Structures are given as structure tokens and as C-alpha cells.
């Protein structure tokens, strides 16, 4: 017997958090009875489970790495008709969704899956999976600026956690710098807001690493499936970071 929201997430209905919202809203039926209790347990091999009257279908889990271009929406659809990340997944038959988000102007590493439990582990704040970005700014920030980014910046939603910050490249002719920053949180537009807070608005932002996964060998706009070993390693990393937090 497993919790209903976990079964829904594993079936690729949505992330576990979204599945919980669907249950609370009365959109889920078990054996033709509406269930709104989040702790409700089911046997997926025996029980009939429906969402909005439609039986859930167990799909084979897929795990995708996309090198997202700038100017693309991290969403399944866009009312404005703009390109979404799903437009780049040619040949993918399963219904997948992004693991976290990259905003419209941010490019780089994006994971997508139909495994809600796996996505939940990688995005929940308690797991603190590191994400590395390359940020391009005008000028050459002094070491004190980098130290401030590393120790924590005060934003409207509170102080940021400690980050790892270092120079990647400096272009004296263009008077610009590329700075690597690794964060363990997932606030909305966090990296952009951190640099704005220290007086260096970003010209370009690219995510280059998520946990142990990098973009090595993957061209912009292209995708590949993660290997079984990569999927397992990300899960292990999420579990390890959670255990470390619990012992602190």
C-alpha cells in the first residue's frame, strides 16, 4: 500500500506537490469514490485510480537532459504562442514536465521527467541539490562583491544561503566577466536577483550543472536521455544532502 499522491506522481500525472493539490480539490477517484485525504493509501495493482474520471496510465519513466536555449518558456504550453521546452523534445512520446524552472531569458541545463517522485526529491528545499550557473556581467566585480554573494545576500524573501562563487573568465576588451555561482536553493529568479542586489545586473545566465549532471557534449536546443547510472546518482545525491541536513 502506498500514499495516493505518490502513486499519481509515479504514474506521471504531475509532480507530487501538484498531485496533492489535485486530491485536495476532489479531482481524484479511487474505486469510483472521490478521495480528498492526502494520507489515503492505495494498492496500484488492485485499486482503480482516476483523475477527473480518467484512469491513470502507468508510463515507463523517462529522464531527459535538455540544453535549453534563451527565449524559450519552461512550460508545456504558452497562451502567447511562444516556444516551450517541449517543442524541442522531438520523438518523446511520454508526457514529461520540467524539474524546476529556468526563466525565459536563462539558458542551459534543464531536466525533464514523468517520474514525479524523482522530480520532487530534486526540487524540494529540504534536499539542497547544488546547481551551478555561469553569470555574465559588465565590469569586473571586486573580490568583496564575490564574497558577499558567497556569504549571503539579503533579498525581499530573506537572506540567501551560502553559495560557491568564483571567476570563470574576464574579457578586458568587452569589459565583462563570467562568474560561476553554485546555489543550493531554488527561489524564483534567485541568481538574477542576487547579482542585482550587489549592483551587477546580468547580461547572460546559463545553468551548466545540476547535481552531478553537466552539459558536456550537448549542443544548444538538443536533448538526450539520462543513463540509469545518472538517474541513480542524482537520487543518491538528493538523499545524501537530506540526511546531512537532518544531522546538522
Q: What is the pLDDT of residues 17-42, one digit of tens each?
A: 899 999 999 999 999 999 999 989 99
Give dist(CA 225, CA 176) in Å, integer: 35
Whole-model pTM: value is 0.77
CATH 1.10.1270.20 fits 63-113+216-247, yes or no: no
- CATH architecture of the domain with residue range 131-210: 2-Layer Sandwich (3.30)
> For the structural domain made of 2-55, what CATH number should be given?
3.10.290.10
Is-catalytic flag, 47? Answer: no
The answer to whether 63-113+216-247 and 131-210 have equal CATH topology is yes
Query: How many residues can be counted in the chain?
Result: 248
Give the residue extent of every domain in the chain.
Answer: 2-55, 63-113+216-247, 131-210
Residue-level pLDDT, tens digit, the chain, 248 residues: 889 998 898 787 888 889 999 999 999 999 999 999 998 999 877 789 999 999 987 668 899 999 999 999 998 888 888 999 999 999 998 888 899 889 999 999 999 998 888 988 898 877 789 999 999 999 989 889 999 999 999 999 999 999 999 999 988 888 899 999 999 988 889 999 999 999 999 999 999 999 999 999 999 999 999 999 999 999 998 887 655 454 44
Q: Which residues contact 224 (CB under 8 A, 6 or more apart)?
A: 64, 65, 218
pLDDT of residue 243: 54
Return the exposure string of 98-121: e unless at least 16 CB atoms fall within 10 Å of the residue's CB, then b. bbbbbeeebbbbbbbbbbbbbbbb
Catalytic option among 78, 87, 103, 157? 103
Amino acid at each position: 500500500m502506498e500514499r495516493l499522491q505518490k502513486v499519481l506522481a509515479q504514474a506521471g500525472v504531475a509532480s507530487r506537490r501538484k498531485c496533492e493539490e489535485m486530491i485536495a480539490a476532489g479531482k481524484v477517484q479511487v474505486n469510483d469514490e472521490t478521495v480528498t485525504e492526502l494520507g489515503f493509501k492505495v494498492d496500484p495493482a488492485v485499486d482503480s485510480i482516476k483523475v477527473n474520471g480518467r484512469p491513470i496510465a502507468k508510463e515507463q519513466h523517462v529522464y531527459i537532459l535538455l540544453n535549453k536555449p534563451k527565449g524559450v518558456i519552461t512550460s508545456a504550453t504558452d497562451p502567447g504562442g511562444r516556444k516551450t521546452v517541449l517543442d524541442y523534445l522531438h520523438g518523446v512520446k511520454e508526457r514529461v514536465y520540467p524539474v524546476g524552472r529556468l526563466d525565459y531569458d536563462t539558458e542551459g541545463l534543464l531536466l525533464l521527467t514523468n517520474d514525479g517522485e524523482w522530480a520532487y526529491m530534486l526540487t524540494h528545499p529540504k534536499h539542497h541539490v547544488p546547481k551551478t550557473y555561469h553569470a555574465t556581467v559588465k565590469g569586473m566585480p571586486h573580490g568583496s562583491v564575490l564574497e558577499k554573494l558567497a556569504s549571503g545576500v539579503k533579498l525581499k524573501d530573506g537572506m540567501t544561503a551560502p553559495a560557491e562563487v568564483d571567476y570563470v573568465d574576464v574579457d578586458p576588451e568587452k569589459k565583462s566577466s563570467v562568474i560561476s555561482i553554485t546555489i543550493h536553493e531554488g527561489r524564483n529568479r534567485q541568481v538574477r536577483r542576487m547579482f542585482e542586489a550587489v549592483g551587477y545586473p546580468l547580461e547572460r545566465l546559463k545553468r551548466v550543472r545540476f547535481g552531478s549532471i553537466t552539459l558536456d557534449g550537448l549542443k544548444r536546443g538538443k536533448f538526450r536521455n539520462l543513463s540509469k547510472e545518472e538517474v541513480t546518482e542524482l537520487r543518491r545525491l538528493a538523499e545524501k544532502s537530506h540526511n546531512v541536513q537532518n544531522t546538522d
